[in-house]
Every structure is written in C-alpha cells, then in structure tokens.
Amino acid sequence: MSFDVVLEQTYPYPPERVWRALTDSDALGQWLMPNDFEARVGHKFQFRSKPMPGWRGFVECEVIEVVAPLRLAYTWLGDADWQEPTIVRWTLEPIEGGTRLRLEHSNLQEPWGRELQAMLSQGWKKMIAEKIVRVMEQFESVAGG
Amino acid sequence: MKSKTPINDSFRAIADPTRRAVLDLLSEGEWKVNDLVGRFRMTQPAMSQHLRVLKQAGLVNSRRAGRERLYRIRPDQLKPIADWVGQYERFWKRKLRGLGEFLEKEK
C-alpha cells in the first residue's frame, strides 16, 4: 500500500528561473538539501544532511527524466531499509505572470511497510501505543533534512 | 475474504488524497455533504462514496439535521494517522516555501 503527496505552488517567475532552482546543484542546495545533482538521466546522486538517530543522513537518488524546463523526476531512497525507492516528480507549467510548479512524491510506503504488517496482525490500539510513535519519529528525522 | 478488518479500512481511507483533504476540512468543524460536494467540485454520489469509506473506517461520524446529513471527524481515531502520513506533506510544503524565498532573494 502506498501514499502519494501532491502539492502545487505558483511562483511569479518564468519556468526557466524555477527550472534553474530545481536543477542547479548550488541553488538546489540552498532551498532543499546539499547535493551532487546533475540534470542528466541515469545520474546517481545524493541529498545530504546531518545524520540523526533513526536516519542515516542522506537520500540516494537517480535521475529518471529531464525535459527542460518542464519536467524533472528522480528516484528518492530515504534510508537503507526502504524496500523500494519513492519517486519525486516536478512539473512546471507556464502561466500568466509566472510558473505553476507541481510536486508529486509517489510510492511512499516505507519505512512503514513492516509496521503496517505488524499493525494488521496485532491490532490498532497496540500499534498506536507502541509503534506509531517510533515510525513518526523516523519520519520526523527524514523530513527534518 | 468478504469482510474487511477496520484497520485495513483505515489505511484504504487515508490512502486517497481527496479523502485526506476531506478529513482536513472536517477537522475544522461539521460539514454538510452538499457543501463538501461544492468545495471539491465532484458529484454527490462520488463524495458520498468517499464519506462512506471514511465512516466505515471509523474516522468520521455523521448525524441528521432535518434533510441534511452532517459529517465530523473523530479526532481520537484520526490524529495518529494524520500526523504520520502528513510528515512528508509538511516536509515538502516547507521546502516549497523555501524555494519561493530562494527565488525572491536571487532576483
């Protein structure tokens, strides 16, 4: 079972400007995380942050789509025990006076896959009491980058 | 395998972005079905189906008021899940704000 996060935001700048912020490694490092990104399909890179309890401190990625200045996608593997990578997909749409940027983070199913199995077999109350707190802490640290 | 467990239902309920958005709205108070239909620009049967899934999952309650049916969330059931699923949503919202600030500063 997986979850998608879909967000849209408009910016009063042309797509080329937004594209540069998404694809220039230094720029990207200033608002997302330090990285060794290159806008080239097949390029493997990492977003790096401070390791924390419950998180190794970096995200492993691989570029899977580059269509300047409209579409960019990469895989996003947040931690070593994720069973499969999630996908981060950026879509830029020119609009009157700026750009509509759409972010889709899809296939989010780890690190809670095993937790979900445990929940299904052990029951809801126990799950909330004991395990969700831990999963939430994991997420907080992943998200904290 | 005809019957589903309530736990299964909870996860199916929150796996859908529309239903999460409905839960967000209901967290502010009671809503009439028709107002939700207007807000989400979907048909009444489609919205009723979403609400049915949420109700079966134990995440919302409904009551009748005249000819209207009003829905509200059951916060006790919802909070742990909402916090949990919302982590990445909050992460990216923060980052998208950061992107806006970066673009502004770079000008």
Average pLDDT, stretch A100-126?
Answer: 59
Q: What is the ipTM of this complex?
A: 0.74
* pTM for this entry: 0.59
> What residues of chain A lie within 8 A of the CB of B58, using their CB?
none
Contact in structure between B102 and B95 (CB atoms under 8 Å): no
Above 60 in pLDDT, residue A30?
A: yes
How would DSSP label each residue in A114-133?
HHHHHHHHH-HHHHIIIIIH
Q: How confident is the model at residue B82 (pLDDT cuts 50, 70, 90)?
A: low
Encode pLDDT of B26-36 as tens digits: 877 899 999 99
Do A3 and B98 count as a contact with CB atoms less than 8 A apart? no
Residue B91 sits at the chain A interface (C-beta within 8 Å): yes
Above 70 in pLDDT, residue A48?
A: yes
- Which of B23, B36, B39, B30 lies closest to B78, judged by CA? B23
The 3-state secondary structure of A16-31 reads HHHHHHHHCHHHHHHH
